[in-house]
Amino acid sequence: MRRAVFPGSFDPPTNGHLDIIRRSLPLFDEIIIAILNNPDKNPMFTVDERREMIQEIVLPMSTKSCAIQVDSFSGLTADFARERQATAIVRGIRAVSDYEYELRMALMNRRLEPSIETVFLMAGEEYSYVSSTLMKQVFMLGGRVEGLVPAMVEDRMREKTRK
C-alpha 1/C-alpha 69 separation (Å) is: 14
Is residue 18 within the footprint of ligand PNS (CB under 6 A)? no
The DSSP 8-state label assigned to residue 149 in this structure reads: B
User: By the 8 A CB rule, do 37 and 121 touch?
Assistant: no
C-alpha 111/C-alpha 106 separation (Å) is: 9
Nearer to ligand PNS, 42 or 63 (CB): 42
Q: What is the DSSP string of 16-52?
A: HHHHHHHHHGGG-SEEEEEEE--TTS--SS-HHHHHH
Which one of the listed residues 51, 94, 136, 156 is annotated catalytic? Answer: 94
Question: Which residue's Cβ has the minimum distance to ligand PNS?
Answer: 8
Check if 94 is active-site.
yes
Check if 17 is active-site.
yes
Check if 131 is active-site.
no
* Chain residues 27-86 in contact with ligand PNS, contact rule CB under 6 A: 36, 76-78
Check if 41 is active-site.
yes
Is residue 119 within the footprint of ligand PNS (CB under 6 A)? no
Contact footprint for ligand PNS (CB under 6 A): 7-9, 36, 76-78, 105, 108-109
**Which residues participate in catalysis according to the annotation?**
17, 41, 94, 132
